[in-house]
């Protein structure tokens, strides 16, 4: 499959709510979200050759139940640019938004 630098699209809140509800129902004890500051996102995208961000799932090697989300910039050819890699976002549950359609 050819890399599409324009991948992703906006979806209706109802569709997103159904997806997150299904995930929570099937994984009641799991992390449901990760928060990353704008500063981290901007830092990853500061390189003008990047067209987006790829997110990898990972597990903390000291706690295999601790889901992590690793962010890395992606160039026009679809390759990871690993000069800057982000992790350690704030997890929900621990710190979450007020109740809304995506988390309740």
Residue pair 10/50 in contact (Cβ under 8 Å)? The answer is no
Q: Average of pLDDT values for 25-29?
A: 92
Q: Is residue 13 part of a domain?
A: no
Cα 78 to chain center, whole Å? 17
Q: What is the pLDDT of residues 9-20, one digit of tens each?
A: 999 999 999 999
What are the angstrom distances between the C-alpha of 52 and each of 5, 38, 48, 80? 7, 14, 10, 10
In a domain? residue 85: yes
Q: How far apart are CA 58 and CA 75, in angstroms?
A: 22
Task: Tell me whether residue 7 is in a domain.
Answer: no
Residue 2 lies in a domain: no
The predicted structure's pLDDT at residue 88: 86
Specify the pLDDT at position 82. 94
- pTM, two decimals, is 0.85
What is the distance between the alpha carbons of residues 101 and 20, in angstroms, rounded to a whole number?
9
- 6 found inside a domain: no
Domain count, the chain: 1
Q: Is residue 4 part of a domain?
A: no
Q: 41-92, pLDDT tens digit by residue?
A: 999 999 999 999 999 999 888 887 778 999 999 999 999 999 999 988 998 9
Domain membership flag for residue 17: no
Q: Indicate whether 80 belongs to any domain.
A: yes
**Domain of 98, in residue numbers:** 31-104
């Amino acid at each position: 499959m050819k890399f599409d630098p324009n991948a992703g699209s906006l979806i209706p809140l109802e569709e997103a709510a159904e997806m997150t509800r299904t995930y929570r129902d099937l994984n009641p004890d799991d992390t449901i979200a990760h928060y990353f500051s704008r500063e981290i996102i901007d830092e990853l995208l500061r390189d003008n050759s990047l067209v987006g961000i790829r997110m990898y799932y990972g597990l903390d090697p000291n706690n295999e139940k601790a889901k992590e989300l690793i962010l890395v910039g992606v160039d026009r050819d679809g390759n990871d640019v690993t000069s800057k890699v982000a992790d350690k976002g704030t997890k929900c549950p621990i710190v979450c938004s007020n109740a809304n359609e995506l988390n309740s």
